[in-house]
A and B are shown apart, each in its own frame.
Chain A
Amino acid sequence: MPNPPAGMLANAFRDYFPPALAILALILLWEALARGLGIQVWLLPSPTAVGRATVEWAGLLPQHTFATAYVTLAGFLLSIVAGVAIALLVTISPFAMKTLYPILLGLQSLPKIAIAPLLLMWVGFGPASKIIIVFLVCFFPIVVSTVTGLTSPPLQLIDLARSFATPLWRIYLKIRIPFAVPYLFIGLKVSITLAVTGAVVGEFVAAKEGLGFLILNGVQQFNTPLAFSAMIILGALTVLLYGCVALAELKFVTWQPRSN
């Protein structure tokens, strides 16, 4: 049902105006309180102070943003490759399902943050330790959602395919993998938000750059406006990455599994 452009604009206005207004009101209230109550800038900077800090550090922020974006994306992409591969393996081989899956479940019960200091010891301060943390955080939701998707086709459909003596790879190509795609995207959307958190956790433990590093340093050196600025960029980065996954979902997912 394509709406006429005017109608679409009106709809967009109706959808986006109330939240935009609420956010603006919140910022104004924050500014008014910070000024009116005379709160120290290192305790709670006003929005204008955060804005000033952002402009002041504008030369440095991109470098740190890219550092965080890099480890987030690298860990996320690695976890997609490995997660999908493991999901294929455990659905194809009952032996792998029995041996590998319980181990994965056990590993998942370890808090990833607890592993961070160890990783530091093993692979050092560089981006590798952050990429591994992001990978570990993202990996599990992707495996679980992909396994669910690959095993979601009705048994009778698999029977039908088997009745044509269809080779296993073709059952995957034509039936199981297409069935898994919407489920995979559920996992990806969960993972991408976890990914940013994972990167920041890694940077908190020890780093030479990144938005997490800026936040920690900002707070330690009483440069709270800078910490806020980094935090807001971090939020924007998460929204941007999530938006990219959602866009890819719109492009690749042409049907939605019905809950039965």
Chain B
Amino acid sequence: MAAAVELTAYVVAGVSRRFTVEGGAPIAALDDVSFSVARGEFVSLVGPSGCGKSTLLRLLGGLDTPDQGHISYGGHRVEGPYAGVGMVFQQPTLLPWRSVVENVLLPIELMGESRSLYLDRAHALLDTVGLAGFTDRRPDELSGGMQQRVGICRAFIHDPGVLLMDEPFAALDLLTRDEMTLELARICQARPVTVVFVTHSIAEAVMLSDRVAVMSARPGRIREVIEVALPRPRGPDAEANPVYHDTVRRIKSLIYDSGAMRRNTS
């Protein structure tokens, strides 16, 4: 049984989270959510707006606590922020007064460690995403896609065991988005990292994930967890695989037939 614990990254057990709006009834953002993520696995959370995807991600990162149920990471109960987490958001959230490489090194400073030990690693990471020539530039000199690449390097700088990504490509144009999806697939292939990935894009989720958790809205629940049986490594040609289309269709039907969308728009 000990081996099983080691192979598990996250166990989410019966987690509920409500938010009280002033003067209104409490809103259930998440209701009795249970699932698990294996070590090294790539799991996406997809669902309509307001299904609590981002809330769940914040709970996983220990930035918020559930009202009911509990979450454990690597066999330890999550009760607050813990070491070995990398986060990427929809906006790159870089520090505008810092150079690219200094932005990548920010987590090291925040953790109170010595920057010089990580300088080579920062340069190597920037090199892998094609930003070797931009290390001394300011974020505002970079395109949106390049800024998001810097954000990803920043998430990797301390060699995290898990990456929590909240719609990291949602603010990018479609072409850049496809490119970044492939790039992330390549990076995750090269490093043993567990990823929980929140997205609106079913295509993106299928392309990247081992499993896709389909959520319904208000209250946020996990409807079903779908295995993605696409072989790895996945390149641009993976989209031609019938498995890809079958999986996309299945997830779509789960989302659109669940009534979640209808309830959301009514």
Q: How many residues of B contact A (CB 8 A)?
A: 28
Chain B residue, CB-CB nearest to A157:
B93
Residues of chain A within 8 A (CB-CB) of B90 are 156
Residues of chain B within 8 A (CB-CB) of A171 are 110
Considering residues A171, A174, A257, which has the most beta carbons from chain B within 10 angstroms of its beta carbon?
A174
Residues of chain A within 8 A (CB-CB) of B87 are 156, 159-160, 163
**Per-residue interface assignment for chain A, residues 140 to 173, with 1 indicating a CB less than 8 Å from any chain B CB and 0 otherwise:** 0000000000000010110111111110001100
**Per-residue interface assignment for chain A, residues 83 to 95, with 1 indicating a CB less than 8 Å from any chain B CB and 0 otherwise:** 0000000000000
B111–A159 touching, CB < 8 Å: no
A163–B63 touching, CB < 8 Å: yes
A178 CA to B110 CA in the complex, in Å? 14
Residues of chain B within 8 A (CB-CB) of A156 are 87, 89-91, 93, 166
Instruction: Tell yes or no: B61 within 8 A of A by CB.
Output: yes
Instruction: Among B58, B63, B81, B110, point to the contact of A170 (Cβ < 8 A).
Output: B110
B110–A174 touching, CB < 8 Å: yes
Given contacts A164-B111, A166-B111, A170-B112, contact A159 B63 (CB under 8 A): yes
Instruction: Tell yes or no: A255 within 8 A of B by CB.
Output: yes
Residues of chain A within 8 A (CB-CB) of B109 are 170, 174
Instruction: Tell yes or no: A3 within 8 A of B by CB.
Output: no
The distance from the CB of A122 to the nearest CB of chain B, in whole angstroms, is: 42
Chain B residue, CB-CB nearest to A181:
B97
A163–B93 touching, CB < 8 Å: no
B96–A160 touching, CB < 8 Å: no
Given contacts A170-B112, A174-B110, contact A162 B81 (CB under 8 A): yes
Given contacts A159-B61, A170-B112, A174-B106, contact A164 B81 (CB under 8 A): yes
Give residues of chain B (29-85) contacting chain A, Cβ–Cβ below 8 Å: 58, 61-63, 80-83, 85
Chain A residue, CB-CB nearest to B108:
A164
Residues of chain A within 8 A (CB-CB) of B145 are none
A161 CA to B93 CA in the complex, in Å? 11
Residues of chain A within 8 A (CB-CB) of B89 are 156, 159-160
**Per-residue interface assignment for chain B, residues 144 to 179, with 1 indicating a CB less than 8 Å from any chain A CB and 0 otherwise:** 000000000000001000001010000000000000
Instruction: Tell yes or no: A254 within 8 A of B by CB.
Output: yes
Considering residues A164, A178, A255, A257, which has the most beta carbons from chain B within 10 angstroms of its beta carbon?
A164
The distance from the CB of A98 to the nearest CB of chain B, in whole angstroms, is: 14
B107–A164 touching, CB < 8 Å: yes
Instruction: Tell yes or no: B142 within 8 A of A by CB.
Output: no
A258 CA to B92 CA in the complex, in Å? 14
A-B complex: 4 closest residue pairs judged by Cβ atoms = A156-B89, A166-B110, A157-B93, A255-B96
